[in-house]
Structure 1
Amino acid sequence: MNQAHSATATAGAPTRAAMPQTDPASERPADRLHALVMAQLDDDQAQDIVSIPLAGKSSIADYMVIAAGRSTRQVAAMAQKLAERVKKEGFGAARVEGLPAADWVLIDAGDVVVHLFRPEVRSFYNLERMWGFGDEKPAAEGAA
C-alpha cells in the first residue's frame, strides 16, 4: 500500500479498496466521481491524500479531497490532468481556480471538490481541521 492510500486510511475516510465491491452502474455518480478523483491523484503521486465525506453535512459537495504536490509544477500538472480526466469521463467541465500560481489549486467538479496544495501552504491553511468535523488528522503532522 503506498503512502497516499495509507494517509487516507489513517484519516478515517474509506479508500477504494476498503469499500464493498458493487456493480459500478448502481453506484451514485458522486461515488464514481470520487473514485475517479482518488485514482487519478494516486496515479499522479499526490501526497497525503485525505478524503472528507460531506454528504449530509454540507450542501456544497458530497466529498472534499485534499492533497499535496511536491512543487508548484506538480500541483499544476495534477490539477490540469484531473480536470481533463473528469471531463473525458463524462462528468462535465470542472472549474479550476489558482492554476497560475499553483500554491493552492481548487478543482470544483460538482459533487467532489479537490484542493491541491504545496505542503507549506497546506500546513498554513489546514483545511482538514476546518472541514474534518473532528475525524481527520492535522495536515502539518510530521511535516514542517
Structure 2
Amino acid sequence: MSLRALARPVAAALRAPRFTAAPRVAGVRFGSTTRFSKDHEWVTYDDATKIGVVGITDYAQKALGDVVFVELPQEGTEVEEGESIGAVESVKAASDIYAPVSGVVEAINEALGDQPSLLNKSPEQDGWLAKIKVSDEGQFLALLDAEAYKAHCEGA
C-alpha cells in the first residue's frame, strides 16, 4: 500500500494539520512555510537556505499504524518530484514515500533507524525524513496549504 492509497475520507476524529503558513507582509515571505502533498507528505521550506524538510503527515501515520521500519534515501541523491524516495513499514502495511519536490537530499533523519516510532510520536516535527535542497521553488508553491490539505483529507 502506498501513501497515495490513503487519499480517502477519514473519521472526524483526525485532527487538522498543525502547520500554518508563515506571515506575509507586502508580498514577501519570511522564514519557513509548510505545504502538503496529496500523497500525505509535508514540506517545510526555508526560502533563505532553499532547504525543504520532508516528512509524512499525522494523517498518514494514523492510517499506517505502528511504524516498525523506515527506509530513507541516501544523502547526495538527486530526487524528482513524485518519485519514490523511500518506504515506511508498519504493522498494517508498507508504503512508499514520494518526493513532494525535486532536488538533492542534503540530510536524512538518522534517528529513525533506531527509533522508527518517531513517525508515530512526532510525524510533523521530530519524525522528519529528509532535508532536500529544492531545485524548483514553484513545485513547493504548487503544494497544498494547510486548509486545502485538510479539505483533501476530508474528501472535499
More helix by share: 1
What is the TM-score when the length of structure 1 is the normalising length?
0.28
What is the TM-score when the length of structure 2 is the normalising length?
0.26
More strand by share: 2
